[in-house]
Amino acid sequence: MMKPENNLKIFFIKLVAITFAIIIIINVFYNTFLAEKLEVLNKLSKMDKNTAEVIKDKVRSELRSGLEKEQILTKEDADLIKRFLNKISSELK
């Protein structure tokens, strides 16, 4: 029969091995899936006020130039958007 000390030693070895395996799995998951998305969010949150103003001005100028055009969408794009909106509205009913 095994001594209680041996059982306890085996238990702690298994506990340490499982703990390391869980830490490695979490680390791989973080690096694979979350790191890129968090990097984009960090870039956006670290944006200074001057850069934000430049981006807002660029968006405003693009909106103005789009509104000055006689036709913004091509017939194909308009048809696709119309069919997409119809599908969404039919699913929401």
**Per-residue pLDDT tens for 17-76?**
999 999 999 998 888 887 777 777 787 777 778 888 888 999 999 999 888 888 888 899
pLDDT, mean over the chain = 87
pTM, two decimals, is 0.39
If we measure between CA atoms, which residue out of 39, 12, 90 comes closest to residue 4? 12
Q: With a cut of 70, say whether residue 1 has pLDDT above it.
A: no
Rounded to whole angstroms, how far apart are CA atoms 60 and 33? Answer: 34
Structure-token match 């070895």, residue found:
13
Looking at residue 2, what is its pLDDT? Answer: 65
Rounded to whole angstroms, how far apart are CA atoms 13 and 42? Answer: 39
